[in-house]
Structure 1
């Protein structure tokens, strides 16, 4: 699966695409589109004078979603195995058409009630006729859950009126997931998803919900990029320099995110999966200097030691370390490593 997001620094904006497994393990970056605006103020007033549906997609900022999809599909080489996941900003009819043209798939949270069927009604009209086909319970938080009503149907979706000569109708699956009742203290879960993939059973509908839930991983990646690397605080003077810096930060942020998630996906793996021999030896030395019992030799044991450097308490009932403590611990480990290398080169 491939998910996209958005970050801005000193006028230079970046939309990275991150590839991850259905279980949520980030595998790497597949694309990154850098762009700038010529105008920041008055854009809302401009929308009131110009109908956005009449503007070619190539002239819009949202064209970056199509470019990232093309680049990701070309890089990975098997577009039919990819599912491009996007939020409501990615609800673009041209995106749906382009996905079918290059033979890939998409799952997008929709915000537009498009024309459907023969054009005399909308998607919402047609979905209102669909009865509840399943109820699925999901965990919202540690102490909260939600019972979700699932409705789904294959619908012929029409392009916007101003673009019907350029783009064909598409046969797409619309999936509505709405929480039963109104919970206290939070808004009810209400997802309206659209995909080119078939959904004919409750299990397939639940699978698509689980896939879309993984889209939140791109927000965690952005948290590392913005809070850890402080990418938005960069004050370089040219767009080229900012683009180079953010590109490096993207790779670093993915690496730290991957380290956090691989600790949960494969805790019993060898530490060499994520660490060099020098880093393993350094962590062994740090653990021995604390006069503690001999530590284990798994990947989880070593990453826990790194997280402890970042403030992780490692109590018996604590969850696995998260991105923040891994980031802090990794920064301290790199400082210690630089010091150790300096001492080794000076004193042997």
Structure 2
């Protein structure tokens, strides 16, 4: 489905754009919690995209290729497709699009508000700001956000990355709002004539000192008014929930091996990924519950009654909580659960889930055999 390999010249492949729905707590989450427990509702939308190479004529265009590229399928159009698939929220409910810098697109933010969707998006563009009906220039987004003093602090548990161990950091939080984001300045008769997008800005950063390496910094755009620290903190906590989509893709690729299927047609690959996505989402949901609400009853783990009975018989333990079910599944996948062992990985979790499925299939076949 395209050249894949090391290097920019051979790294083309099929990209996956997923939209996962989670329920935000009806009441304000516990400020002392590292991250609120979010039950996953399902997979709202999933699209496949193959990046097209930029033609030479577009690169050589005097206006930077803004006109010729309008006819080319671009990754930014995936957000428009997702919005159409989601539709408008029902009366009395609020849907919030939480996304990384790839969603910092003027048309996307504008259409979210027109469609009744909220957003918490990490800013990627140092956009120009305007004020009033005359659209008077009012500075730049990044300069304004970084000029605001800290209004408070929050603690965040950062996950480990290559050469960066997991750690807890104390983050400063400031806010600016409301602001009006100017429409993009593009060649053509409609340049800059679009309506400004009203938004609030929340800055989150790690104060590392002048001599240390730059720390974490997020500049978040929100459709909600932010006038004090208590209104800024939910924006920060909502953005941290974006890690759910990263965990979902990690479970899909690392755990279930979606990249190793070696299917040779797009139709077969897309069908296989769609099926595996349901399983990956269930694995993420179980991991979330075991981590954030470990004392929930075992029936909340998402297993059928037969699966739960077989797992209890196999592990020879009562398994009364979600955490106990999670560890028992990991044990089926080979996790030893010793004191020095880390948490089970995605491959171990998937192997345990698959082993349980085989055991249940054997029980069902044995029951049919006895009936016959």
Please confirm whether the aligned pair reaches a TM-score higher than 0.5, indicating the same fold.
yes
Which residue of 2 is the match for residue 286 of structure 1?
314
Within 5 Å, which residues of 2 pair with 1:41-60? 46=58, 49=61, 51=64, 54=67, 55-56=69-70, 59-60=73-74
Residues 31 and 71 in structure 1, CA contact (< 8 A), matched pair in contact too: yes
Q: Highest relative contact order (Cα 8 Å, sep 6+), 1 or 2?
A: 1
Which residue of 2 is the match for residue 338 of structure 1?
361
SS of 1:307's equivalent in the other structure is helix
CA distance in 2, matches of 1:88, 1:57: 23
The answer to which structure has the higher helix fraction is: 1
Is there any run of 5+ residues in structure 1 with no aligned partner, and where? 1-8, 289-293
Which residue of 1 is the match for residue 30 of structure 2?
none
Which residue of 2 is the match for residue 155 of structure 1?
179
Pick from 266, 269, 272 the counterpart of residue 239 of structure 1: 266
Alignment of 1:131 onto 2:155 = no
CA 278–129 in structure 1, closer or farther in 2 if over 3 Å, else same: closer
TM-score of the pair, normalised by structure 1: 0.82
CA 286–335 in structure 1, closer or farther in 2 if over 3 Å, else same: same
Give the superposed CA RMSD. 3.2
Which residue of 2 is the match for residue 27 of structure 1?
41
Farther off after superposition, 129-138 or 84-93: 129-138
CA distance in 2, matches of 1:52, 1:213: 35
SS of 1:81's equivalent in the other structure is coil
User: How far is 1:112 from its partner?
Assistant: 0.5
TM-score of the pair, normalised by structure 2: 0.77
Farther off after superposition, 123-132 or 204-213: 123-132
Which residue of 1 is the match for residue 325 of structure 2?
302
State how many pairs are aligned. Answer: 332
Which residue of 2 is the match for residue 116 of structure 1?
129
CA 311–12 in structure 1, closer or farther in 2 if over 3 Å, else same: same
Is there any run of 5+ residues in structure 2 with no aligned partner, and where? 1-10, 25-35, 131-135, 160-165
Which residue of 2 is the match for residue 259 of structure 1?
286
Alignment of 1:73 onto 2:91 = no
Deviations 1:227-263 (A, max 9, x none): 1221122333332222211111111111111122223
Within 5 Å, which residues of 2 pair with 1:192-203? 192-203=219-230
User: How far is 1:201 from its partner?
Assistant: 1.0
Which residue of 1 is the match for residue 162 of structure 2?
none
SS of 1:161's equivalent in the other structure is coil
Pick from 86, 93, 98 the counterpart of residue 99 of structure 2: 86
CA distance in 1, matches of 2:19, 2:103: 12
